[in-house]
A and B are shown apart, each in its own frame.
Chain A
Amino acid sequence: MASLQSLDITARSSTTSPTPSVRQTTEVAKLIDESKCIGCKACQVACMNWNDLRDAVGENVGVYDNPHDLSPSSWTLMRFFEVEPEQNRLEWLIRKDGCMHCSDPGCLKACPSPGAIVQYSNGIVDFISENCIGCGYCVTGCPFNIPRISKKDNKAYKCTLCSDRVGVGLEPACVKTCPTGAISFGSKVDMKQYAEKRAGELRERGYKGAGVYDPAGVGGTHVMYVMKHADRPALVGLPEDPQVSPAVSLWKGLAKPLAALSLGLIALGGFLHYVTVGPKEVEDDEEKEDVK
């Protein structure tokens, strides 16, 4: 989407100078309480409604996931998991998948196009699609497998956390529509507090592993989960300790300035060699002897 909040940008892809950040806004977060979710997919409908996107009608392959995966037009998706956390105890877990809005976003780190990905001071990570060049580096950077590149326009898309709504004081569309209150939205501090309270309640009800998913490996996220089995996030397809891949960190971290500097130094070294040691010239008499 286009950037509507141009005064409070804390990070901008492929930009080495300070970003316009004169305005400070409250850090926000969306909290998804897995235990309250009934899998109605109203959030999916609200998302496509607000963003005015229609995915192609898919096919039923025998699971409840519909569509099968995130796509350039489906930015959030209920994923259904039939699991047995303990033997002979079937549980049907549902997770609303979508961008986690990391504090340390791998997509933004990897993106080579200036301003194609921005992070606002409220924590939202937004793709500014008009600046996207379609290289797919964000896909390699994301530890949650979220960005999708459109086959139509070769631009990357994902959940914006309704940055356009949040920017004018509204909650995201999925939050607004959720009929069970499984999705809440507020300041990160408040959401964290509420999440811990909910996790405590779940533990009291016998879910010993209940807890909050706000992984530190990516600096925390602005979409958090209350999970019945927070000790085993893999049950709902989440990484245990998500981190930007070391390959990507090296490539878009240390390697970048080092490579640029060293290539400059090699060229400078050549020039200095020429003006100090000088060229290799074949002696004149050698040439003469030759022409005879």
Chain B
Amino acid sequence: MNGRYVQRYTPQERRTHWIVAICFILAALSGLAFFHPAFYFLSSLFGGGPWARILHPFIGVVMFAFFLVTMVRFWKLNRITDADRQWMKRIRDVIANRDEGLPEAGKYNAGQKYLFWVIVVSLWLLILSGIVVWRPYFADGFPIWLNRAAVLVHSIAAWVLVAGIIVHVYAAIWVKGTMRAMTRGTVTRAWAKHHHPAWYREVAGK
């Protein structure tokens, strides 16, 4: 591949990512409405309380379905290695922008990999607990103790996911040149060489 840029994500990968992202925002806004009175006004964005209640689980299912595609596609690239553990030990340096001498990252660095698994686990918990409390279709079919456990699991997993996504979005703002990977599909060679040297060697064929 020649020129200033290298390909990081295919059009299909970008499309899937953004469908998941849009669903996440809609599910998070409608879900927050049910979680805390301070956020109840968000249900108006969906046409009021009952509509938010009706739409939220369907949005969640679409998000989960498209995320499954992402998960299958990327899980191998997100296996945690010894280099990743070394990388995590220097997380303070990473946060302070002292990147010199970090263990070389492949397509994903350790932070991205852990975030990937956080998202995988929380989405599985969300879909499973969400089905248990889904009214009017499934909730009555599950025992009450499971309903009670599920609402708690659902909100804890949702908190973890929202916190994870805040970190994810901030990381894309923080590390300049990252955003275009998901909007245009490409990154500069310099970006790739600096942040993901092992991956860069692979794609540049060096």
Bound: A136/B133 CA distance, A? 8
The reply on B189 being an interface residue by CB < 8 A is: yes
| Residues 80-134 of B at the A interface (beta carbon under 8 Å) | 95-97, 99, 133
Known A-B contacts A135-B135, A273-B174, A279-B174; A145 and B40 likewise in contact (beta carbons under 8 Å): no
**CB-based contact A251/B174 at 8 Å:** no
**CB-based contact B50/A112 at 8 Å:** no
The reply on A205 being an interface residue by CB < 8 A is: no
Known A-B contacts A114-B37, A291-B4; A133 and B52 likewise in contact (beta carbons under 8 Å): yes
**CB-based contact A280/B99 at 8 Å:** yes
The reply on B62 being an interface residue by CB < 8 A is: no
Q: For residue A151, which residues in chain B have a CB less than 8 angstroms away from its CB?
A: 136
Tell which of B50, B167, B170 touches A133, judged by Cβ atoms closer than 8 Å. Answer: B50
Tally A residues with Cβ within 8 Å of B. 48
The reply on B163 being an interface residue by CB < 8 A is: yes
| Residues 59-93 of B at the A interface (beta carbon under 8 Å) | none
Q: For residue B147, which residues in chain A have a CB less than 8 angstroms away from its CB?
A: 136, 139-140
B interface majority secondary structure? helix
Bound: A234/B156 CA distance, A? 33
For B139-156 the 0/1 string (1 means CB < 8 A from A) is 110001101110110011
The reply on B9 being an interface residue by CB < 8 A is: no
**CB-based contact B53/A290 at 8 Å:** no
**CB-based contact B135/A277 at 8 Å:** no
**CB-based contact B40/A114 at 8 Å:** yes
**CB-based contact A247/B151 at 8 Å:** yes
Tell which of A14, A247, A262 touches B148, judged by Cβ atoms closer than 8 Å. Answer: A247
Tell which of B49, B145, B193 touches A113, judged by Cβ atoms closer than 8 Å. Answer: B49
**CB-based contact B148/A282 at 8 Å:** no
The reply on B194 being an interface residue by CB < 8 A is: yes
For A247-275 the 0/1 string (1 means CB < 8 A from B) is 11011000111011011001100100110
Q: For residue A290, which residues in chain B have a CB less than 8 angstroms away from its CB?
A: 4, 188-190, 193
Q: For residue A193, which residues in chain B have a CB less than 8 angstroms away from its CB?
A: none
The reply on A287 being an interface residue by CB < 8 A is: yes
The reply on B34 being an interface residue by CB < 8 A is: yes
Bound: A246/B163 CA distance, A? 24
The reply on B173 being an interface residue by CB < 8 A is: yes
Tell which of A110, A135, A278 touches B53, judged by Cβ atoms closer than 8 Å. Answer: A135
B41 to chain A, nearest CB (A): 10
A-B contact pairs, 14 of them (CB 8 A): A135-B34, A140-B144, A247-B148, A247-B149, A247-B152, A251-B151, A251-B155, A263-B162, A267-B166, A279-B174, A280-B176, A282-B188, A289-B190, A290-B193
Q: Which B residues fall within an 8 A CB radius of A?
A: 4, 33-40, 43, 48-50, 52-53, 95-97, 99, 133, 135-136, 139-140, 144-145, 147-149, 151-152, 155-156, 159, 162-163, 166-167, 170, 173-177, 188-191, 193-195
Given contacts A154-B50, A278-B97, A283-B190, 15 further A-B contacts (CB under 8 A): A112-B33, A113-B40, A134-B135, A139-B144, A151-B136, A260-B35, A266-B167, A270-B174, A279-B173, A280-B99, A280-B175, A280-B176, A280-B195, A281-B176, A287-B188
Closest 5 CB pairs of A and B: A133-B49, A270-B170, A112-B34, A287-B190, A14-B37
